[in-house]
């Protein structure tokens, strides 16, 4: 597979478009956090400084991952998948924080294995489908980490993992009809679990209350987005004092972005991501390796679903779900995991001799 | 197998969904913008802040000194109280909470806040709490309770909490929200770390729309040893008792301080200030009357860092160092072993023609003394001779203030930069300062300005010089360790990055100094009577007595600086008792008891020593 001719930026090469988009998206995040925090100061309490630190780590990781060939990724897929799954099991031995077991406390930072199972699952299913294993077995083994995440409990990531699995199955040779019937079965059994009390009542409350009354945070978020107008407010912070949005630097950051940079900014953000997915789609359609196709499709599904859920929450068309906006929301785990995804995609680009 | 066709259809489908989202955002930002801005301008959001649990404070052995706990409190939502239902709520409160009097209840309803804190309902049972929450204007929130586990012990180090004044708000702007701020001690110095982020209760109109949970403050681990602190406090009280029994004093002798510094690191192991207070009394607010009562006793002064006293003979260590460093000895001597004949007084003349006689504290004098013996017996004449030598050699030149320079190098005349608020800097007088004072405070200086006699006063720690106990302790620690650094209390602080400067002292000098300090507590030394109880261990401890005269009819200030061991010096202890009469009789035995604790020896009560100086 190693027949590359042109390389840019280093011996293994880098796709310039991908790198540029990655850097711009990071920069947009700093800018938005800057308007929220009212300034940059050099300590880890300051959100801009924290995000910049994580971004630097992310860029380093992006380049480091680029050195790992797809052959190696293919070889170590099962080990990676297994290790992360074991970490997910070990989480149950930790002390719950606010009722959930989601992180390993590593002192300065927390380590969140569920961020990496998103990657592990995509690689696992890609390899299994490429090797033409029995699809029922693939599905059965995929369920294990999904169930582990479900019982953390982390409903948002569980849904994301299910969506990743289903979308990868849809573009495979499994009959769409079968997938739909399995999804139906899954839906029914979910409500079964609900009846038996396996799902926290607060999660249910969030869904039911959505239909009863307008969520305060969402109504405020909609007002903030509207106030942004077509061209945005551009760093005029004082006007936003009359609006209150919780977790504005993480899950609701899109409202701050839309407020500051307006509809124009939203179009640019959509454009950047759109262009990125367009480039990915082109590789999916031209590359000969099924492994690469499924990886790209799986990662795309993961990113697109996160963006979709995040924006839908912020503009209030679905109930509040704690889903960060990739590369925009404040948070180390999410940026680092997304950097790994970008690094692997970059490797696929250069192994296909696409450098610009 | 990858199905390209299904992938294309799926992509198209996703494209449509995102196009839909974009239209939705377009509607929000462009089509409906005007309406949204109108509702933004109409909506009034107000925030009520509930303090976060403050960070807890632990001593070096992880004993909890200050704790925080959350307890449910009943609050009154004043926006839901109107003329019609007010009396109903008043009745309810009077009936259910008999501890509230009418005045309290009236005050609640007159409050101009969004929520008024009514009462702690920690001890209320579930049913009663349920019935409370049935009433519309009642809200229940967790409110943090600060508790100081050892009451008065280390009260000045920990500090206390109170409502912020305008000055406090200027320094800690966030304190205006929670209406609580550290007023002194670590509570103030580390206010930003300890306070955390308050709970935000967001109101839209009279309804609570959103509650943003608090972030608790950061815990602090400090260098104090609470057991030693207790023993030191006890010892100081015992010493004051003795001082009151043995000396006449217009006011009760009740002010004093002890500082224990770790020689190697300059950690503060103990810091006692008396009189003290119980910081728990401030948690629910203290009455003006009680506050004033405490204030007039001086209980709010942290004497270890704020008490500025003439240091007396403990200051002689500066001249001791200078003599060795600069080879300046009394006229005719060329080394530390050379002896003068101390006859108990010194008559001398200056170039300006003045003729004076200075009397040593010991009538008849100390006989033939060298540098070491003049520390041991606290001979003034030997040091006056040094001062005369400096004056006669350098008067009017820049080297004239060489003694002051040495004092400043050891930290006198400036704050020690310890991590506590309101530290005083003390005074090291020189010609320039006297000239300044002759304009700003003419009553403090003679019209002639700075004279040789002032230098002679200074060298024995008398006259215009003042120093705080921490400065004195730190000066001795600096000489013994050979390192200049600031004392500190908070261990979480990035103390590794502290500046540590090397001091120009030789190993020889340090061992001479320790030996001479050792002679003070041994046979013939000024503090022997107070230390003989140590038995064999007396051979391994040391110190310096100081009895500083005060102007007016005030008693002498009692000083003692001790070092816990000569062979392996780990701690320096500085003790001062204001108007304590005599350093060797009062401060020395107090320090001795602290050393007993530091060395793990059996504690014996503070016993009145011998009045020497």
Contact (CB<8Å) B36/A223: yes
How does residue B248 score in pLDDT terms, banded at 50, 70 and 90?
confident
- Partner residue opposite A263 with nearest CB, options B3, B26, B44: B26
- The mean per-residue pLDDT over the stretch B19-39 comes to 91
For residue B210, list chain A residues with Cβ-Cβ distance below 8 A.
216-217, 244, 246
Nearest CA of chain A to the CA of B40: how many Å?
A: 7
ipTM score of the complex? Answer: 0.90
| Band of pLDDT at residue B122, cut at 50, 70 and 90 | confident
What pairing do the DSSP bridges indicate for beta strands B57-58 and B220-221? parallel
Check CB contact under 8 Å for A170 and B4: no
Across A173-200, average pLDDT: 79
Q: What is the pLDDT of residue B94?
A: 87
Confidence label for A187 from pLDDT (cuts 50, 70 and 90)? confident
φ, ψ for residue A247, nearest 5 deg: 40, 45
Q: Looking at CA atoms only, how far is residue A235 from chain B in angstroms?
A: 17
| Closest chain B C-alpha to A285 CA, distance in angstroms | 7
pLDDT at A296 over 70: yes
Q: What is the mean pLDDT of chain B?
A: 91
Mutant choice from B14, B28, B44 vs A, greatest count of A C-beta within 10 A: B28
Confidence of residue A212 (pLDDT cuts 50, 70, 90): low
How close A121 gets to chain B, by Cα (Å)? 17
Nearest chain B CA: its distance from A231 CA (Å): 9
Q: How far apart are CA B85 and CA B63, in angstroms?
A: 49
Contact A242 B44 (CB under 8 A): yes
Q: What is the band of B357 on the pLDDT scale with cuts at 50, 70, 90?
A: confident
Inter-chain CB proximity B2 and A172 less than 8 Å:
yes
What DSSP character marks residue B551?
Answer: S
Q: Which residue of A has its CA nearest to B24?
A: A315
Average pLDDT in the B535-563 region? 92
Segment B532-546, tens digit of pLDDT = 999 899 999 999 999
Say whether pLDDT at B507 is over 50.
yes
Pick the more confident residue, A345 or A219.
Answer: A345
Contacts B3 to A, Cβ<8 Å: 171-173
Q: What are phi and psi of A110, to 5 degrees?
A: -105, 145
At residue B573, the pLDDT reads: 97
Q: Report chain B's C-alpha Rg in angstroms.
A: 32
pLDDT at B448: 83
- B28 to A297: CB separation less than 8 angstroms, yes or no: no
Comparing CB atoms, the residue among B6, B30, B204 nearest residue A171 is B6
**Closest by Cβ to B4, choosing from A222, A285, A294:** A285
Contacts of A304 in chain B (CB under 8 A): 14
Bond preceding residue A153 cis, omega within 30 of 0:
yes
Å between A42 CA and nearest CA of chain B? 15
Q: How far apart are CA B472 and CA B545, in angstroms?
A: 12
pLDDT at A1: 43
Q: Are B63 and B50 in contact (CB under 8 A)?
A: no
pLDDT of B158 strictly over 90: yes
Q: Mean pLDDT for chain A?
A: 86
Tell me the average pLDDT across B545-572. 93
CA distance, residue B581 to nearest chain A CA (Å):
51
Contact A66, A72 (CB under 8 A): no
Beta carbons of B476 and B569 less than 8 angstroms apart: no
Query: Is residue B487 within 8 Å of B470, Cβ to Cβ?
Result: yes
**B25 to A170: CB separation less than 8 angstroms, yes or no:** no
* B25/A225 CB distance under 8 A: yes
Check CB contact under 8 Å for B2 and A317.
Answer: no
Predicted confidence (pLDDT) per residue in B93-106, tens digit: 888 888 888 888 88
Interchain pair A167, B21: CB under 8 A: no
Tell me the average pLDDT across B141-149.
Answer: 93
Range with lowest mean pLDDT among A37-46, A63-72, A303-312, B470-479: A37-46
Q: How confident is the model at residue A265 (pLDDT cuts 50, 70, 90)?
A: very high
H helices present in chain A, as ranges:
16-37, 47-66, 70-90, 113-130, 135-150, 155-170, 176-196, 201-212, 216-228, 253-286, 290-314, 332-351
Contact criterion met (CB < 8 Å) for A228 and B18: no
**Which SS3 state, helix, strand or coil, does residue A236 take?**
coil
| Contact indicator for B269, B224 with CB cutoff of 8 Å | yes
Chain A neighbors of B9, CB-CB under 8 A: none
State how far residue B489 is from chain A, nearest Cα, in angstroms.
22
* Chain A residue whose CA is closest to B209: A216
pLDDT at position B9, please? 92
State what percent of residues in chain A have pLDDT above 70: 86
Whole-angstrom distance, CA of residue B447 vs CA of residue B350: 17
d(CA B155, CA A133): 72
Percentage, residues of chain B above pLDDT 90 = 64
pLDDT tens digit sequence for A73-111? 999 999 999 999 999 999 988 888 777 888 888 766 778
Chain A / chain B CB contacts < 8 angstroms: 100
- pTM beyond 0.90: no
B505 or B231, greater pLDDT:
B231
pLDDT at position B67 is: 95
Q: Are A266 and B22 a contacting pair at CB < 8 A?
A: yes
Return the residue of A nearest to B42 by Cα: A242
HSE of B30 in the Cβ direction (CA atoms, 13 Å)? 13
Per-residue pLDDT band for B611 (boundaries 50, 70, 90) equals confident
Partners of A294 on chain B (C-beta within 8 Å) are 2
Residue at token pair 């303090």: B51
CB–CB contact A246 B28 (8 Å): no
Query: Tokens for B552?
Result: 């007016």
More reliable by pLDDT, B133 or A295: A295
Q: Which of B21, B28, B210 sits opposite A226 (nearest CB)?
A: B28
């Amino acid at each position: 597979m190693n027949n590359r001719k042109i390389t840019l930026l280093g011996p293994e090469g880098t796709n310039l478009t991908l790198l540029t988009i990655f850097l711009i998206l990071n920069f947009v995040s700093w800018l938005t956090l800057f308007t929220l925090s009212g300034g940059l100061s050099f300590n880890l309490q300051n959100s801009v400084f924290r995000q910049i630190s994580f971004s630097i780590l992310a860029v380093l990781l992006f380049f480091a991952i680029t050195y790992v060939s797809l052959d190696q990724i293919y070889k170590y897929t099962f080990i990676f998948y297994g290790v992360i799954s074991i970490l997910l099991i070990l989480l149950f031995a930790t002390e719950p924080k606010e009722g959930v077991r989601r992180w390993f406390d590593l002192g300065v930072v927390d380590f969140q294995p569920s961020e990496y199972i998103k990657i592990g699952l995509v690689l696992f299913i890609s390899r299994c489908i490429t090797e033409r294993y029995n699809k029922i077995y693939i599905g059965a083994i995929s369920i294990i980490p999904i169930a582990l995440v479900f019982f953390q409990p982390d409903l948002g990531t569980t849904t994301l993992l299910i969506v990743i699995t289903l979308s990868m199955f849809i573009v495979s040779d499994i009959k769409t009809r079968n997938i739909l019937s399995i999804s139906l079965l899954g839906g029914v059994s979910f409500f079964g679990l609900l009846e038996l009390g396996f799902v926290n009542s607060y999660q249910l409350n969030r869904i039911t209350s959505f239909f009863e009354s307008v969520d305060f945070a969402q109504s405020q978020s909609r007002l903030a987005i509207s106030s942004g107008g077509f061209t945005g407010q551009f760093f005029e912070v004082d006007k936003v004092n009359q609006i209150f949005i919780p977790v504005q630097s993480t899950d609701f950051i899109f409202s701050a972005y839309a407020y500051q940079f307006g509809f124009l900014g939203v179009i640019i953000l959509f454009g950047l991501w759109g262009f990125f997915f367009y480039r990915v789609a082109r590789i999916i359609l031209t590359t000969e390796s099924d492994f690469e196709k499924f990886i790209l499709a799986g990662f795309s599904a993961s990113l697109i679903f996160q963006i979709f859920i995040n924006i839908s929450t912020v503009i209030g068309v679905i109930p509040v779900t704690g889903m960060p906006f990739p590369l925009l929301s404040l948070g180390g785990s999410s940026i680092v995991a997304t950097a790994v995804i970008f690094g692997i995609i970059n490797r696929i680009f250069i192994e296909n001799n696409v450098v610009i | 197998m990858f199905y390209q066709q299904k992938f294309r259809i799926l992509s198209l489908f996703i494209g449509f969904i995102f196009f839909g989202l974009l239209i939705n955002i377009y509607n929000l930002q462009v089509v409906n913008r005007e309406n949204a801005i109108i509702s933004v301008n109409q909506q009034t959001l107000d925030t009520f802040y509930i303090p976060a649990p403050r960070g807890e404070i632990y001593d070096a052995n992880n004993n909890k000194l200050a704790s925080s706990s959350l307890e449910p409190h009943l609050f009154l939502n004043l926006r839901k109280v109107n003329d019609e239902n007010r009396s109903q709520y008043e009745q309810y409160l009077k009936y259910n909470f008999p501890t509230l009097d009418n005045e309290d209840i009236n005050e609640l309803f007159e409050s101009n806040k969004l929520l008024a804190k009514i009462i702690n309902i920690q001890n209320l049972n579930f049913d009663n709490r349920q019935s409370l929450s049935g009433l519309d204007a009642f809200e229940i929130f967790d409110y943090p309770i600060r508790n100081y586990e050892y009451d008065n012990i280390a009260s000045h180090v920990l500090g206390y909490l109170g409502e912020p004044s305008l000055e406090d708000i200027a320094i800690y702007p966030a304190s205006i929200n929670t209406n609580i701020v550290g007023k002194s001690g670590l509570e103030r110095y580390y206010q930003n770390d300890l306070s955390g982020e308050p709970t935000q209760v967001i109101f839209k109109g009279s309804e609570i729309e959103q509650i943003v949970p608090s972030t608790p403050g950061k815990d602090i681990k400090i260098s104090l040893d609470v057991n030693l602190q207790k023993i030191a406090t006890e010892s100081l009280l015992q010493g004051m008792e003795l001082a009151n029994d043995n000396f006449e004093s217009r006011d009760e002798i009740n002010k004093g301080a002890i500082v224990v510094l770790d020689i190697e690191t300059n950690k503060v192991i103990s810091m006692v200030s008396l009189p003290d207070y119980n910081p728990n009394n401030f948690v629910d607010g203290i009455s003006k009357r009680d506050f004033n009562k405490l204030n007039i006793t001086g209980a709010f002064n942290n004497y270890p860092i704020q008490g500025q006293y003439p240091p007396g003979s403990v200051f002689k260590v500066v001249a001791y160092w200078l003599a060795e460093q600069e080879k300046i000895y009394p006229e005719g001597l060329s080394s530390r072993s050379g002896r003068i004949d101390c006859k108990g007084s010194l008559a001398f003349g200056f170039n300006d023609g003045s003729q004076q006689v200075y009397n040593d504290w010991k009538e008849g004098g100390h006989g033939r003394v060298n540098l070491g013996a003049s520390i041991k017996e606290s001979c003034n004449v030997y040091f006056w001779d040094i001062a005369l030598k400096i004056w006669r050699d350098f008067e009017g030149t820049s080297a004239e203030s060489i003694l002051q320079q040495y004092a400043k190098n050891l930290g006198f005349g400036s704050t020690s930069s310890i991590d506590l608020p309101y530290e005083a800097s003390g005074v090291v007088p020189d010609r320039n300062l006297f000239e300044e004072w002759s304009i700003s405070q003419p009553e403090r200086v003679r019209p002639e300005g700075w004279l040789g006699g002032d230098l002679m006063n200074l060298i024995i720690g008398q006259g215009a010089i003042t120093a705080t106990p921490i400065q004195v302790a730190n000066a001795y620690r600096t000489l013994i360790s050979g390192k200049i650094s600031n004392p500190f209390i908070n261990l979480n602080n990035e103390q590794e990055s502290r500046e540590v400067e090397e001091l120009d002292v030789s190993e020889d000098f340090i061992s001479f100094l320790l030996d001479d300090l050792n002679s003070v507590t041994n046979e013939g030394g000024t503090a022997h009577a107070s230390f003989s109880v140590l038995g064999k261990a007396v051979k391994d401890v040391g110190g310096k007595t100081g009895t500083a005269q005060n102007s007016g009819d005030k008693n002498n200030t009692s000083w003692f600086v001790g070092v816990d061991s000569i062979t392996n010096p780990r701690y320096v202890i500085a003790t001062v008792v204001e108007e304590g009469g005599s350093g060797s009789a009062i401060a020395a035995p107090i320090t001795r008891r602290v050393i007993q604790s530091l060395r793990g020896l059996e504690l014996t009560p503070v016993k009145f020593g011998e009045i020497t100086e």
